[in-house]
Chains A and B, each alone.
Chain A
Amino acid sequence: MALFGRTRDVNLIKTINRELLGDVITQQCSFYKIRLEETTFNLYGEAAGGKFYDGPIIFNCLVDRNDQEYPESDLGVDFNWSTIFKFLREDILNAGMQPEVGDIILYNDGYYQVDDVISNQYFVGKDPNYPNEPNPLNPGLSDFGGNLSYIVKTHYEPADKFGITKERF
């Protein structure tokens, strides 16, 4: 049986982080989840007719902003901005959501599409979802460790692509 990282310890960490994100850092973003049932796609695997979303749901998060980039091409000067959003995993799950590649995050009037979803910050290196039970060596591992965060890597997308707000006049 494991000695450290019991559920109480994990809850302490989660509570501290929730308080830190919500009351101290207070960075927020809105999460849009694609509605798979209503969004239809064509032969090329693209929803050219429009997409439907659940949300937005506002989450406290930690925003790790990279520098804005202005690449140049024949079309002119473009704009890129890759940003990393770090969520408390339990906040997302409590909202009934699961971030996936292709979802949309609204942050500071800009829309970011999810490229990578990283969920590997295990408290004391253990994920209680995989206790290997029945486990004769270390029984009760489901009470130890915790998966703390969702780290979502995104890139900026032009706003009119999603049809959420009117961008072309």
Chain B
Amino acid sequence: MAEQGKTPIPKSQREIATGLNEPTIPGNDPNNVTKYFPSLADARANNQSVQPARASRISQKEDSWKPFTIGIKDLDEAIKYYFDNVIQPSVVQNGNRIAVPTIYGSPERWKSVQRDGYYRDKKGKIMAPLIMYKRTNIDRNRGITNKIDANFPQNYAVFQQQYTKKNHYNNLSVLNGAKPIKTYQAIVIPDFVTFTYSCVIYTYYMEQLNQIIEAINYAADTYWGDPQRFKFRAMINGYQTITELNVGQERTVKGNFDIKLNGYIIPNVIQKDLDALKKFSSDSKVIITQETIESLTRDRGNQFIEGINTNLD
């Protein structure tokens, strides 16, 4: 119960998150807490939450890079980028070569009708050809490495940071034999996942569908994505072609296929921000090679001499 007359202060997000995290104790032995996690033992003794070591909390204020993250959207965008910029599917229709637009499936109604006019005619009818893709599944891929424990990530990919204002290289340093401190960027090993995308190619004619499938099939099983960003291996196993002729409706020619994208995710979440190492520096050393004093007895008198003598004993 709150103390009488004292306003309770709610815990911050950081306090709540760190309070919930407890590392896995080796052997599940409570005695190992003191051995492996002294800070946790102290915290438990004092009924406090665990706070990560201050040494691992290096400011990223002036860094030229942001914390490395790859989200689900990045993988979705990789598919569209590859369709639009690398495969560039096109068909010949009424004597003109036209590019095949790619859309993500099931957009909002207003967007579909009012904004996506480039593949609609005056009345709003969808014009072919068109490629639609939609993510249908995300599977965890446990066949590759992992970070072991989300509460205390153990596996990192480490990159050395380039020289900066504080960590610069100059000739004077070389002359003096001074080596600048190396700063490293630590990134938690990502969660490896397999994305499944369901794709539909919609055309007026089978001949157009053939052209598009040929183009996509050529690009199958390669790495898809923006070379300036991320590329992921896209696997396509097969295509299903459907020609429908329904009463009172237009003839539709469709090709269905699935893309399996081997991707990975490094989320930008507060739990990672609190628990994972993001940046660290190499060990720094100050080496004193020579020290000269004028007189041993000048300032400290016999105490210093006595001290030396004691050591010699």
CB-contact partner of B105 in A44, A74, A158, under 8 A? A74
Tell whether, in the assembled complex, residue A76 and residue B126 are in contact, meaning their CB atoms are under 8 Å apart: yes
Q: Is the interface of A mostly helix, strand, loop or mixed?
A: loop
Measured in the bound complex, the distance between the Cα atoms of B240 and A63 in whole Å is 40
Q: Which stretch from B23-31, B181-189, B199-207 is at the chain A interface?
A: B199-207
With contacts A75-B105, A80-B249 taken as known, whether A157 is within 8 angstroms of B125 at the C-beta atoms is yes
Q: Mark A94-135, 1 if CB is under 8 A from B, else 0.
A: 000000000000000110010100000000000000000000
A126-169 residues at the B interface, CB under 8 angstroms: 153, 155-163, 167-168
Tell whether, in the assembled complex, residue B95 and residue A49 are in contact, meaning their CB atoms are under 8 Å apart: yes
Measured in the bound complex, the distance between the Cα atoms of B204 and A75 in whole Å is 14
Tell whether, in the assembled complex, residue B250 and residue A155 are in contact, meaning their CB atoms are under 8 Å apart: yes
CB of B196 within 8 Å of the partner chain = no
Q: Count of A residues near B, CB < 8 Å?
A: 33
Residues on the A chain within 8 Å of B64, using CB: none
Q: Which stretch from B51-59, B107-115, B162-170 is at the chain A interface?
A: B107-115
With contacts A44-B205, A155-B249 taken as known, whether A78 is within 8 angstroms of B125 at the C-beta atoms is yes
CB of B15 within 8 Å of the partner chain = no
Measured in the bound complex, the distance between the Cα atoms of B92 and A72 in whole Å is 27
Chain B, interface size: which category?
A: 35 or more
CB-contact partner of A76 in B92, B116, B206, B250, under 8 A? B116
Q: List 21 A-B contacts (CB under 8 A).
A: A46-B204, A48-B204, A49-B94, A72-B109, A74-B200, A75-B130, A76-B107, A76-B116, A77-B113, A78-B124, A79-B125, A109-B123, A115-B247, A158-B126, A158-B250, A159-B122, A159-B123, A159-B125, A159-B127, A161-B250, A162-B94
Mark B residues whose CB is within 8 Å of A.
92-96, 98, 103, 105-107, 109, 112-113, 116, 120-128, 130, 132, 134, 200, 202, 204-208, 243, 247-250
With A44-B205, A70-B113, A79-B123 given, name 17 new contacts (CB 8 A): A46-B206, A70-B124, A72-B109, A74-B106, A75-B132, A75-B200, A76-B116, A77-B112, A79-B124, A79-B125, A159-B125, A159-B127, A160-B93, A161-B250, A163-B93, A163-B94, A163-B95
